[in-house]
Amino acid sequence: MPRKFPLVIGHRGAPGYRPEHSRSSYELALAMGVDAVEPDIVATKDGVLVVRHENEISGTTDVAEHPRFADRKTTKRIDGEALTGWFTEDFTWSELATLRVTERLPKIRTSSASFNGAQGILRLIDVLDLVRAASAEHGREIGVVLEVKHATYFASIGLDLVPLIVRDLRAAGWADGELPLVIEAFESTVLRQLQKHDISASYIYLIEASGRPYDQLVAHGRAAPTYKATVTPEGLNGLIGQVDGISVNKRMLLAKQNTIVADAHARGLKVFTWTARPENAFLSAEFRGDGGKPAFGDYEGEWAAIARTGVDGVFVDHPDLGVAFFRG
């Protein structure tokens, strides 16, 4: 039997209320009743998997305020894009553990920014332990949707994420299917590599609204398939037996006359979408209201359009609103 309601997934915890990927962000999401939470993982110099949206951390930590790390600021090309800042792979875990997390969108989420500096960076194993404890406390299964970031880049500098992920999942007791585990990435290569390691998980291919996957661009250049081509019926045919589903940018589901969910379901593939946010800054134009970017617009109108597609899972930044709406 298909689920009546989509999974509600706390995107980086509850970042509408607390700095993303902080302990309090996850604790709040778990208390608000999410079906799962989504940590993004990147690696340190010494092979520790830490939970950050990007390996460049100047926008989500206080690293710039630490004089001892001033000389670590640098410019790198990450997935073909030049970025300047501080990068997790240039720090040991013990060094990163001295930093404190900050709000990534302080002008939009001023309340969350008031918690800046209160908490440290989490490791993947910390989040896995948090979710396991919350499942026991709340008496229900709560899952983890683990997003692997920049796997091709990390492998190119000698930090293969695959054995690190397998190590942590096994060490934390998340490899055998006791609790729901989803592994997702914008790069199909790392998903295929992880599938060889006997991890009990669902594998989801993340899809952007434009561009090409970086791993395919490295391998095939401009002949690499675009993300848009991947969600055509022909492209979806190529995913059958390779992954369990796709997770698409919400703009793709809101596009008129799209048939992505129906086409995927016809091929036995699940569909998730990201990210359902209530603020005007993130809503499609027709759903924005007064009050500027931080104000809530007609998010229920946009979310209703998403729900009508029959999507299987929705990533949310405000878990209380997501649970109330999508399970209502």
Residues 6+ apart with CB under 8 A from 284: 251, 254, 302
pLDDT at 287 over 50: yes
Q: How far apart are CA 124 and CA 43, in angstroms?
A: 10
- Rounded distance between C-alpha atoms, residue 164 and residue 162, angstroms: 5
CA nearest neighbour of 315 among 73, 2, 15 = 15
The answer on pLDDT for 25 being more than 90 is: yes
Q: What local confidence, expressed as pLDDT, does residue 1 receive?
A: 44
Q: Please report the pLDDT score of residue 300 as a whole number.
A: 98
Per-residue pLDDT at 162: 98
Q: What are the residue ranges spanned by the domains of the chain?
A: 7-326
pLDDT at 4: 77
- When pLDDT is cut at 50, 70 and 90, the band that residue 2 belongs to is low
Q: Is 224 a residue whose pLDDT tops 80?
A: yes
For 239-267, the pLDDT digits (tens) are 999 999 999 999 999 999 999 999 999 99
Which tens digit of pLDDT belongs to each residue from 33-79?
999 999 999 999 999 999 999 999 999 999 999 999 999 999 999 99
Which of the four pLDDT bands, split at 50, 70 and 90, describes residue 200? Answer: very high
In 3D, which of 9, 15, 3 has the Cα closest to residue 35? 9
Confidence band, pLDDT 50/70/90 cuts, at residue 3: low
Helix, strand or coil, per DSSP, at residue 307: helix
Domain 7-326 has CATH 3.20.20.190: yes
Task: Work out the mean pLDDT of the chain and round it to a whole number.
Answer: 97
0.85 surpassed by pTM: yes
Element (H, E) at 161: helix 161-171
Query: Rounded to an integer, what distance in angstroms lies between the CA atom of residue 146 and that of residue 51?
Result: 10
